[in-house]
Copies of this chain bind each other. A is one copy, B any other.
Amino acid sequence: MPQGKILIAQGGGPTAVINQSLVGAVLEARGQAGVERVYGARHGVRGIVNEDFLDLTRESRKSLERVAATPCSALGSTRDKPDLQYCRDIFRVLKAHGIGTFFYIGGNDSSDTLLILSDEARKTRYPLRCIHIPKTIDNDLMVNDHTPGYPSAARFVAQAFAGTDLDNQALPGVYVGVVMGRHAGFLTAAAALARRSPDDGPHLIYLPERRFEMKAFLRDVKATYDRLGRCVIAVSEGVHDRSGTPIAVRLAKAVEKDAHGNVQLSGTGALADALTGAIKAGTSIKRVRGDTFGYLQRSFLGCVSEVDRREAREVGIKAAQYARTAGRDGSVTLHRVGDYAVAYKLSPLKAVAGKTKVMADAFIAKSGHDVTAAFLAYARPLVGPLPAVERLGPENAVKKILGKKK
C-alpha cells in the first residue's frame, strides 16, 4: 500500500532513549516500498503548524545512528495540546505536503493529542494514518507492561540512591531524594533497586499512590534514625495529602500549569526543602539534607538501560510496520511474556490516550512506605545489574584496649 510521505514528531518530556524510537521508525519506514519521504516535525505538533520540517530521508544512516545514541528529543518537543482550530491548521499543512502517515512519540498527553487528531481526521475525511509510539519516564501508560524511557530513568534513580546511600553511611544523617512522578510512583519505587544489604537505603519510600501524612512520615523517619543512626528517604514529587493536593503545591507560593493543566512539580527544590525543614523542626536530628533529582533523571548523558535501548528502538520499528500493514490507527504497546521477554501489539489509541496507570497494590508494601518483592522482580530485568559495590564489614573490628566511649 503506497504511503507517500510520512511525518514523525516527538512530544512531552525527553528521555534517554526517545531518539532510538525516532531512528527505528525512520529507518524502517525509509526501507518500505511506496514511502517517498520521511519528514520530522521540529517541536512536536507546533512544528507541523509552523511547517517546520526536516527531511530525514536525506540523513545518512550513520548520522541517524549517532542521533539514536543521544539522549533527549533530537527533533525537539512541545507541551502544546491542540484544540479544534489547531487541528485544522495541522491538517492544512499535512495536506499541502501530502502527508498520509503521522507517528507521534510521547506519553499519555501525546497519545491524547493523537487521538484528537485521529478523530478529527475521520470526521473531516482527511486520510491520515496515526500511530502512537510510547515513551515516558513515568511508566504510566495504560495497557503497557512498562514504557520505553522508564528503565533508563529508573536506572539513574537506582544508581543515584546507591551512591547517596553510601554517602549517608559515610556521613550519617537524614537524606531525602525527591524523584519525578506526578501520579505514578514507578520511578520513585526504582530507588529500592539500590539496596543490597538489609540496612541499605532507601529505608523509606513514599509514593503518590498512598496518602502522605506528615505526622506518620516524621514518626517513620525518627524510628529509622533511632534504629540505624541514619535514614535515607525516596519521595515522589507527586505525594499528596488527604484532599489529593500535592504536598509540593500546598507548600509552593505560586503554581505554574502547562497547556495540559498539569501543575509544575519539577524544576524546583521546594518539596525537598519543605520535608527536610519539617524533619529538622519535628525531630531532634541535626544533619538533614535534601536533593531534588530534577532534569538529570531524564536527560543525564551516559546512563542507559540496555533493555530500554533495545525496546525503544523496537517500538519505533513496529510503528512503521503497523502503519504499513495494520490498516488502522493505534498505539504500539509493550507486553511482558516470560521472564524476561516482550511482545508488541497495536492497541486502540483510546485505550492509552489521556489515561494514567499507577502502581498496582501488589507492588506497594502494606506499610505504605516501601515496595514489595513483586515490584523488585518487575523492575530488575528492566534496569539491569548496577555497578558492583562493597562495604567494609564489622567482622575485622579491632578489640578496644581503653574501652572509652565518647
Contact = CB atoms under 8 A, between A and B. Distances in A.
A301 interface: yes
Interface in A350-395: 386-392, 394
Contacts of A392: 40, 54, 56, 59, 67, 74-75
Interface stretch (A76-84, A307-315, A336-344): A76-84
Contacts of A282: none
Given A63-B390, A170-B73, A268-B269, A58 B291 contact: no
A294 interface: yes
Given A75-B392, A391-B74, A299 B164 contact: yes
A197 to B, nearest CB: 13
A67 B390 contact: yes
Interface string A237-271: 00000000000000000000000000000111110
Interface size class of A (residues with CB under 8 A): 35 or more
Interface string A42-70: 01001001111111101100010011011
B276 A291 contact: no
Interface string A194-226: 100000000000000000000000000000000
A172 B404 CA distance: 60
A255 to B, nearest CB: 13
Interface in A264-296: 266-270, 272-273, 276, 288-296
Count this chain's copies in the assembly: 2
Interface stretch (A88-96, A116-124, A327-335): A88-96
A302 B70 contact: no
A162 B301 contact: yes
B300 A160 contact: yes
Contact of A292 (B269, B391, B405): B269
A276 B294 CA distance: 14
A398 interface: yes
A2 interface: no
Contacts of A14: 166-167, 170-171
Given A14-B171, A66-B390, A386-B302, A406 B53 contact: no
Nearest to A49: B406
A347 interface: no
A20 interface: no
A400 interface: yes
Given A97-B401, A390-B66, A267 B295 contact: no
A271 to B, nearest CB: 9
Contact of A390 (B55, B70, B268): B70
A301 to B, nearest CB: 4
B267 A290 contact: yes
A85 to B, nearest CB: 11
Nearest to A41: B398
B160 A402 contact: no
Given A73-B171, A159-B301, A292-B292, 10 more contacts: A14-B171, A54-B398, A56-B392, A59-B392, A70-B166, A72-B163, A72-B166, A89-B404, A269-B269, A301-B387
List 3 A-B pairs, minimum CB-CB distance, nearest first. Answer: A269-B269, A267-B289, A291-B294
13 contacts: A39-B398, A46-B406, A54-B392, A72-B163, A75-B392, A93-B402, A159-B301, A162-B301, A163-B299, A267-B276, A267-B291, A268-B273, A269-B290
